[in-house]
Amino acid sequence: MSKGTVVLAYSGGLDTSCILVWLKEQGYSVIAYLANIGQDEDFEAARKKAESLGATKVFIEDLRAEFVEDFIWPAIQANAVYEDRYLLGTAVARPCIGRRQVEIARREGAQFVSHGATGKGNDQIRFELTCYALYPEVKAPWSMDANLMHISYESGILENPKSHAPADLYLMTKNPEDAPSAPDVLEIEFKIGVPVKVTNVKEGISKDSPLDIFTYLNEIGGKHGVGRIDIVENRFIGMKSRGIYETPGGTILLNVHLDIEAFTMDKEVRRVKQGLGIKFSELVYNGFWYSPECDFVRHCIAMSQVNVEGKVQLSVFKGQVYILGRESPKSLYNEELVSMDVQGDYDPCDASGFIRINAVRLREYHRLQGFPSIKQ
């Protein structure tokens, strides 16, 4: 008699294939679920493999568009970067994959979900917190990662943090030394903090759907070697790990979004929003996408993006993103006010009082500390 039905997040690789066979041997009925989030995968071959190993059903779900719109775009709005360098490519993919896994489990009446994430990493936490949040009664009966946003590499030779990555490791990006000798000049248009159009100025190519925009930026960034990082990060479970990541399209958008945001957002709102972006990054990295606090932070960040609108011109060349210019109907930049040649609606005499008021705190601090002696 079957112990119940399990929906297995299946990749077609060795780990999840072994898990599928093991679950069958333990008496479970297994439904294999493959999520297409942009990775280079032969899904039909994986389907046949799962069926040959005994899966009762196989679901192949194309999640690329919702991955971009529901998960990557909020990360772009937040300028989400974990520990100042990691753009969270794997972390934002897990709640997308887990959400559809839960939908299938509910629809098929499955009592269990399973995955191939290691117990030493972050992904076990991310998968299972997603499943427990969206399907509280479900149970979990007990590595290169690739997706549309990035590719990550870890383990093996990379476990020695001193070891250099092999030259042939990278799959999404060219070595910047081998990148084209001429830049691609792009214009990216934003509304409410997300890109709505990208145009290659020289080639006259335009993309305006979320999936097409992100895929094209991956292509351009990859061609020019943009978005490679090699870091040691702090896992949620308390250990450090070394990872190498390629995030070409995400790196372009981070640079451009930062620019249009600074151009259109109030200084103090941006200061608060920066703190929210850090909090959002930590929550997503740790697997709390579906927590009430992350929902609240996402809502606040979305509110901050209402006026983040306009166009940014940029050059992508030899591993770098260069901002060339920007324009916006909602810009807070006042050329007359800031000009050194025109007084505009500003009285320079006001600066004297402003400086004196700000100096009060500094004077009091140094009065208590004792004024430092002046070196001759």
363 is catalytic: no
* Candidates 17, 29, 64, 94; catalytic one: 94
15 is catalytic: yes
231, with CB counted inside 10 A (0-12, 13-18, 19+), is middle
* Candidates 70, 106, 143, 331; catalytic one: 143
Number of H helices, E strands in the chain: 12, 13
| DSSP code of residue 2 | -
CB 273 within 8 A of CB 95: no
| CB-based contacts of 269, cutoff 8 Å, min separation 6 | 304
CA 13 – CA 89 distance, rounded (Å): 20
114 is catalytic: no
94 is catalytic: yes
Residue with tokens 């609240």: 296
* Candidates 17, 29, 114, 123; catalytic one: 123
Helix axis angle for 43-52 and 14-25, nearest 10°, is 30
| CB-based contacts of 338, cutoff 8 Å, min separation 6 | none
CA 144 – CA 132 distance, rounded (Å): 25
Residue 286, token pair as written in the block:
């740790």
Residues labelled as active-site residues: 15, 94, 123, 143
